[in-house]
Structure 1
Amino acid sequence: MSGSFTVETDHGVSVTDVTDLVTERVPDNVEDGICTVHVPHTTAGVTINEAESGLLADVETILSTLVSDDQAYRHDEIDDNATAHLRSMLLGSSVSVPITDGHLDLGTWQSILFFDGDGPRRRTVTVAIVGDS
């Protein structure tokens, strides 16, 4: 079983909580299994962490610090978006979450966070579910 949804971003670097959008794609008949969330974009990523607003701003700050806009990147000669590619590599393009008793088995403060490093854009997020009913 699989599905997808879109995320609209409104500025260059952003982090969006997509937990509810992923949860909506877990079929009612799946009791136990695995949910994989994949971002098919080279300038976006996905991770699991707390969706507290200060932390989300901190994520944007640390990614901008680790991959500075002040560097001369070779890829910028082609697209002028090397920082977005490099930042997304730090997060990765997919996460997997167990499904237990019909629900995503996330910790109390865990959320599925979508990162866009090259916005504003319309992005696709793919959700694939394998499970037992």
Structure 2
Amino acid sequence: MLRKFKISIDGKEYLVEMEEIGGVPQAPSAAPVAPAVPVVEAAPTTPVAAEPTAPVASTPAGNDAMPSPMPGTILKILVNVGDTVQENQPLMILEAMKMENEIVAGKAGTVTGIHVQQGDMVNPGEPLITIG
């Protein structure tokens, strides 16, 4: 499982992505973050086919994407791209400070993009889902 951490060393902040050994492999997120420190690339390996655990983002996040209200981890995604949703309908579950928080639709419409996957760690303001 890929996890993101913000680490401060001597007053300088670094964004680090780490893979949990023995965890379920995940596809890269829809909006990759440029590394803050140089990264040494390993030789390419043959990817192993894995069943996705959550829908993959269909489009890059635009300005109309619903932002994360708080930092946390995506526990469950309750809708798929193309689903019609109503205002205040639960879209996903975000765990923050050991509490499960429902992220609900701010308006009625059709889900046009999901920009996170189950298990992703998000920060406030990061795009979660787009409803058109």
Q: Give the TM-score normalised by the residue count of structure 1.
A: 0.24
RCO higher in 1 or 2 (8 Å CA, sep ≥ 6)? 1
Task: Answer 1 or 2: which has greater helix percent.
Answer: 1
